[in-house]
């Protein structure tokens, strides 16, 4: 008997696929329905591990299935090749960022090819190549023309070691994400911005159209990030000073309960407020400490509330009361106005701050239920609407009525107005580093900022630049690149030395895949119109905010430019779970990775692919298990032996289904019925929920059934057996394609699986026996549900908990556990 040799088989079939151009997509093929499936653009960091492989395997299984279903599938890949890690590597290793990046790309590309991912390699892109970043520059200039790109002075997170701006998400506990011993500083510099806020309403109002295709969690995260708030902007005069502080509040009805103003450590007027105040040196030290803390909303929400009194007072414009002005660590200069009114009785954050620093708590809104709040006995803030008291002429009004009247009165009194604000801020795209897209403008002493003409694009990065990580942008130290002429007056000018945030590269790359060699436009509109929107996008939930917000923004800009005919780039989004080892996410820095090549050498790529799909549902985290992958290897070996045993006598036999024929034996009927039942479930898994783990389990059960029915040369015609084995191989092929090709050939086929259609099941043969299962809640039967006899445990659990009798009984309660006895009962334990 032949032995399963995965390395030989895998290299053999990869050569065949490459020679025949199996995975090349056809632009504008009207005879077939298109399907664009894509995993998020990978950063070429070097060695790929099995955490990466899970993401790519999910996308590849879907792409292969859709091809077998007759779709014209576009499944491309490229490289998010710019970024700071390449510069850091250049400093550390003494090699050019391009050299480091391209070496990593070559290594990762070899691994992807080794695993047999069905990419259309002719469409491969790399964002660090001039023929790509030229179009970053072109988009920037179109936005500059329309006022969507602009420059202003702004306070930023600055890493003194990286010598560049950091996004809030790159500040971890006050330190740079790249150097956990480098405190981040607040610094004001000139920066370039893209006006994402001009599209805030569009981004928000489009979200309902994504419902059903995008994970609910991602949509809510985007809504929160955009953060639309309707409220009022109110001015508070500062006592004994010719200045005011503005706050934005959604609850102006509580303003009579404000007992302090709290401003951010980075507030623009803080220096002015503290001028001449006693204890200034100690205050400055506290301010510096606060500015080094994390500015992530989640971190601020959970951090202990800290602050200090500035010694200054503001005047409440409604009540005339004096209010102390504090500096607090929970207020950010970048959000709202950088100042908030502290209303402890009606805001939980303010309540905690007031308790910590013994600020007054004043109740001004009472519940409509008749319950009476007493400030001295409150254990937490009352944050609901109610009826106003202790609020001057507004006492007795309901909150909603008071909000409208008080905003109008503030406007009439010239100390406020109704306003809608957004948490979303304009996108700061300036980076003070080398390895990124040069911003295509020059600075002229006569004409100011002047755009580089389109016919001079791309503005290429100079080569052989010295990168030290110290001082200004490395581009500023290359005089032959830096010094140029003004396109407008012809006089001397200096190029912009900032480069673009790499999120610009990844905000539109998927359009370039449709037309990657176009030298006259970012892409052909007609070709993009054929492929877009993306049918299925796959990537981690960590990209829910920045990448996905920016890519949606770019799509809307491109629509306004007339480049595309849609305003959302992605129809369906899937966020896969992480691969964990020893309880933590696989990471090179944690030293807990399982190398993809190591798995390929030890078990074969198909085993690695199969395991990542089998070990957990794809949206759940997967805990790596050596025993688990060994189990997948044993299964593939078992299947190989089964077909190696029977394949030789079946090669020349024409397959057929004999289950309904009068001459069919009970064994034949059993095997054919099992084939069609399995095929129906696997097809539904691919078409709907992507529970590849249950699909693989069903295929394994089918193999077990075949082995249990040995000898298979008795009471089973060769034609029927061949039909069953063919169906088994075709079902397995999207997940373990190399061995499937080999087994298909062993069954006598000259054309590969890659040219086969997905098999059809017969409903009459796929119909499963129905059984009734009692559903208990805390041990008491509350319902009986009818399910298929072979229903998976997780499906049975979901069906039971969504039952119309059970659902209301467990709603709002803590589910302690769900006990499932397959085919017998389900018991939901709640408290």
Choose the most confident range, by mean pLDDT, from 41-45, 662-666, 797-801.
41-45
Q: Which residue has the higher pLDDT, 90 or 738?
A: 738
Q: What average pLDDT does range 544-563 have in this prediction?
A: 96
Average the pLDDT over 783-807 and give the result: 79
User: What does the pLDDT look like over 568-622, one tens digit per residue?
Assistant: 999 999 999 999 998 889 888 788 889 999 999 999 999 999 999 999 999 999 9
The stretch 79-96 carries a mean pLDDT of 89
Give mean pLDDT, residues 555-574: 98
Yes or no: say if 228 and 200 are a contact pair by the CB < 8 Å rule.
yes
Of the ranges 87-101, 384-398, 482-496, which one carries the lowest mean pLDDT score? 87-101
496 with 431: CB under 8 angstroms? no
Q: Identify the CATH number of the domain defined by range 625-766.
A: 1.10.730.10
Percent of the chain having pLDDT more than 70? 97
DSSP 214: B
Identify the pLDDT of residue 69: 97
Residue 699 is encoded by which pair of tokens?
Answer: 């295929």
Q: How far, in Å, CA of 138 to CA of 158, rounded?
A: 28
Mean of pLDDT values over 41-52: 91
Q: Residue written as tokens 């006569």?
A: 446
Confidence of residue 167 (pLDDT cuts 50, 70, 90): low
Q: How many Å apart are CA 308 and CA 278, to the nearest integer?
A: 13
Indicate the range of 104-113, 280-289, 526-535 predicted with least confidence.
Answer: 280-289
Strand partners, 492: 485
**Amino acid 111: pLDDT:** 96
Q: What is the largest CA-CA distance in the chain?
A: 104
Taking only the tens place, the pLDDT of each residue in 443-458 is 999 999 999 999 999 9
Q: What is the pLDDT of residue 398?
A: 97
The predicted structure's pLDDT at residue 638: 97
Total Cβ atoms within 10 A of residue 402: 25
pTM of the model: 0.86
pLDDT at 176: 82
Show me where the domains of the chain are located.
141-195+427-502, 229-421, 625-766, 770-830
Whose structure tokens read 């069954």? 747
Confidence class of residue 297 from pLDDT cuts 50, 70 and 90? low
In this prediction, residues 507-535 reach a mean pLDDT of: 98
pLDDT above 80 (res 658) = no
pLDDT of residue 804: 82
Q: What is the pLDDT of residue 91?
A: 83
pLDDT digits (tens, 9 = 90+) for 189-236: 899 999 999 999 999 999 999 999 999 999 999 999 999 999 999 999
Q: Which helix (H) or strand (E) holds 284?
A: helix 280-291
Count H helices and E strands in the chain, helices first: 27, 34
Q: What span, in angstroms and rounded, lies between the C-alpha atoms of 244 and 267?
A: 13
Is residue 38 within 8 A of residue 80, CB to CB? The reply is no
- Taking the C-alpha atoms of residue 487 and residue 429, their distance in angstroms, rounded to an integer, is 23
How far apart CA 802 and CA 792 sit, in angstroms, is 16
Q: What CATH topology corresponds to 770-830?
A: Ubiquitin-like (UB roll) (3.10.20)
Whole-number pLDDT of residue 302? 64
| Mean pLDDT, rounded, of the chain | 92
What pLDDT, on the 0 to 100 scale, is given for residue 8?
97
For the cut 60, the answer to whether the pLDDT of residue 659 exceeds it is: no
| pLDDT band at residue 662 under the 50/70/90 scheme | low
Instruction: Please name the helix (run of DSSP H) or strand (run of DSSP E) that holds residue 651, with its range, or none.
Output: none
- Distance CA(157)–CA(134), nearest Å, equals 28
**How large is the C-alpha radius of gyration of the chain?**
32
In angstroms, what CA-CA distances link 656 with 407, 670, 716, 786? Answer: 78, 15, 12, 33
pLDDT at 795 over 80: no
Q: Percent of the chain beyond pLDDT 90? A: 74
Question: Quick one: pLDDT band at residue 169, thresholds 50, 70, 90?
Answer: low
pLDDT digits (tens, 9 = 90+) for 687-737: 998 999 999 999 999 999 999 999 998 999 999 999 999 999 999 999 999
The pLDDT tens digits for 345-365 are 999 999 999 999 999 999 999
End-to-end CA distance of the chain: 58
DSSP 686: I
Mean pLDDT of the region 555-566: 98
At 803 the pLDDT is: 84
* Contact predicate 527/562, CB 8 Å: no
Which tens digits make up the pLDDT trace of 225-255? 999 999 999 999 999 899 999 999 999 999 9
Residue 591, token pair as written in the block: 């030293």
pLDDT band with cut points at 50, 70 and 90 for residue 87: confident
Find the helix packing angle between 97-114 and 6-20, rounded to 10°.
Answer: 110
787 beta partners: 771
d(CA 270, CA 316): 19
- DSSP string of 426-468? -EE-EE-SSSSPBP-EEEETTTEEEEPPGGG---PPPSS----
**Predicted pLDDT of residue 663:** 75
Contact (Cβ atoms closer than 8 angstroms) between residue 385 and residue 402? no
* pLDDT at position 294 over 70: no
Average pLDDT over residues 59-68: 98
Note the CATH number of domain 229-421. Answer: 3.90.740.10
**pLDDT at residue 657 in the model:** 59
Distance CA 180, CA 170 (A): 11
Q: Taking Cα atoms as reference points, which of 557, 553, 503, 563 lies closest to residue 532? A: 563
Residue 296 pLDDT: 59
Compute the distance between CA of residue 758 and CA of residue 66 in angstroms, rounded to an integer. 9
Question: In degrees, to the nearest 5, what angle opens at C-alpha 576 toward C-alphas 575 and 577?
Answer: 125
pLDDT band at residue 61 using 50, 70 and 90 as cut-offs = very high
pLDDT tens profile 388-447:
999 999 999 999 999 999 999 999 999 999 999 998 999 999 998 999 999 999 999 999
Provide the 3-class DSSP secondary structure of residue 517.
Answer: coil
**C-alpha closest to that of 392 among 498, 263, 257:** 257
What are the pLDDT digits (tens) for 327-337? 999 998 878 89
Going by C-alpha positions, the residue among 117, 39, 36 that lies closest to residue 71 is 36
pLDDT at 695: 95
229-421 against 770-830: fold identical: no
């Amino acid at each position: 008997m032949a032995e399963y040799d995965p390395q030989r088989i895998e290299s053999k079939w990869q050569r065949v696929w490459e020679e025949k151009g199996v995975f090349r997509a056809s632009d504008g093929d009207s005879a077939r329905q298109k399907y664009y499936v894509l995993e998020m653009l990978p950063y070429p960091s070097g060695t790929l591990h099995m955490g990466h492989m899970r993401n790519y395997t999910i996308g590849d299984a879907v792409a292969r299935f859709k091809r077998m279903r007759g779709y014209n599938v576009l499944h491309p890949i490229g490289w998010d090749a710019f970024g700071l890690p390449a510069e850091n590597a250049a400093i550390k290793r003494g090699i050019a960022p391009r050299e480091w990046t391209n070496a990593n790309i070559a290594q990762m590309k070899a691994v992807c090819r080794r695993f047999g991912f069905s990419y259309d390699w002719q469409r491969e892109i790399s964002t660090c190549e001039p023929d790509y970043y030229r179009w970053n520059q072109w988009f920037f200039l179109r936005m500059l023309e329309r006022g969507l790109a602009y420059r202003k002075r702004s306070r930023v997170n600055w890493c003194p070691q990286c010598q560049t701006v950091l996004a809030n998400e790159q500040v971890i506990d006050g330190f740079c994400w790249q150097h956990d011993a480098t405190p981040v500083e607040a610094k004001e510099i000139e920066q370039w911005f893209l006006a994402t806020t001009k599209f805030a309403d569009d981004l928000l109002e489009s979200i309902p159209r994504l419902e059903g295709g995008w994970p609910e969690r991602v949509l809510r995260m985007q809504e929160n990030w955009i953060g639309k708030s309707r409220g009022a902007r109110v001015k508070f005069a500062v006592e004994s000073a010719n200045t005011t502080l503005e706050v934005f509040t959604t609850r102006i009805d509580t303003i009579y309960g404000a007992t302090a103003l709290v401003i951010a450590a980075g507030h623009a007027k803080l220096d002015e407020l503290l001028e001449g105040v006693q204890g200034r040196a100690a205050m400055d030290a506290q301010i510096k400490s606060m500015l080094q803390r994390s500015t992530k909303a989640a971190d601020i929400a959970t951090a202990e509330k800290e602050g200090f009194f500035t010694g200054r007072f503001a005047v409440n414009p409604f009540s005339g009361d004096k209010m102390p002005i504090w500096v607090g660590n929970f207020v950010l200069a970048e959000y709202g106005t950088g100042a908030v009114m502290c209303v402890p009785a009606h805001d939980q954050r303010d309540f905690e701050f007031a308790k910590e620093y013994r600020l007054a708590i004043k109740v001004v809104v009472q519940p409509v239920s008749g319950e009476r709040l007493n400030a001295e006995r409150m254990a937490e803030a009352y944050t609901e609407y109610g009826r106003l008291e202790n609020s001057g002429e507004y006492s007795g009004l309901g909150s909603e009525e008071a909000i409208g009247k008080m905003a109008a009165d503030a406007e009439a009194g010239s100390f406020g107005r109704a306003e809608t604000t957004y948490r979303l801020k304009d996108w700061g795209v300036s980076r003070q580093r080398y390895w990124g897209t040069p911003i295509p403008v020059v600075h002229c002493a006569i004409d100011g900022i002047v755009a580089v003409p389109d016919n001079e694009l791309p503005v290429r990065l100079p080569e052989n630049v010295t990168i030290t990580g110290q001082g200004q942008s490395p581009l500023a130290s290359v005089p032959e690149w830096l010094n140029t002429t003004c396109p407008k007056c012809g006089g001397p000018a200096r190029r912009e030395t900032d480069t673009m945030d790499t999120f610009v590269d990844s905000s539109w790359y998927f359009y370039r895949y449709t037309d990657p060699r176009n030298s006259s436009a970012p892409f052909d509109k007609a070709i993009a119109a054929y492929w877009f929107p993306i049918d299925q996008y796959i990537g981690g939930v960590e990209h829910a905010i920045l990448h996905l917000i920016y890519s949606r923004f770019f799509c809307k800009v491109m629509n306004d430019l007339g480049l595309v005919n849609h305003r959302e780039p992605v129809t369906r989004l899937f966020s896969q779970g992480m691969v964990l080892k020893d309880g933590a996410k696989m990471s090179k820095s944690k030293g807990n990775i399982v190398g993809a090549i190591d798995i390929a050498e030890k078990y074969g790529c198909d085993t690695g692919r199969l395991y990542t799909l089998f070990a957990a549902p794809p949206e759940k985290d997967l805990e790596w298990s050596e025993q688990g992958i060994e189990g997948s290897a044993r299964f593939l070996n078992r299947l190989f032996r089964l077909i190696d045993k029977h394949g030789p006598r079946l090669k020349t036999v024409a397959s057929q289904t004999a289950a309904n024929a009068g001459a069919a034996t009970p064994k034949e009927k059993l095997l054919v019925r099992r084939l069609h039942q399995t095929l129906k479930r696997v097809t539904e898994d691919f078409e709907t929920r992507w529970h590849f783990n249950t699909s693989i389990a069903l295929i394994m059960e089918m193999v077990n059934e075949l082995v249990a029915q040995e000898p298979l040369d008795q009471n089973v015609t060769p034609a029927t057996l061949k039909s069953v084995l063919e169906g088994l191989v075709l079902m397995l092929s999207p997940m373990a394609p190399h061995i499937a090709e080999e087994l298909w050939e062993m069954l006598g086929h000259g054309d590969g699986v890659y040219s086969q259609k997905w098999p059809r099941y017969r409903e009459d043969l796929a119909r499963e026996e129905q059984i009734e299962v009692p559903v208990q809640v805390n041990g008491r039967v509350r319902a009986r549900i009818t399910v298929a006899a072979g229903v998976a445990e997780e499906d049975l659990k979901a069906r039971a908990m969504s039952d119309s009798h059970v659902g209301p009984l467990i709603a709002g309660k803590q589910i302690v556990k769900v006990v499932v006895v397959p085919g017998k009962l389900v018991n939901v334990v709640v408290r």
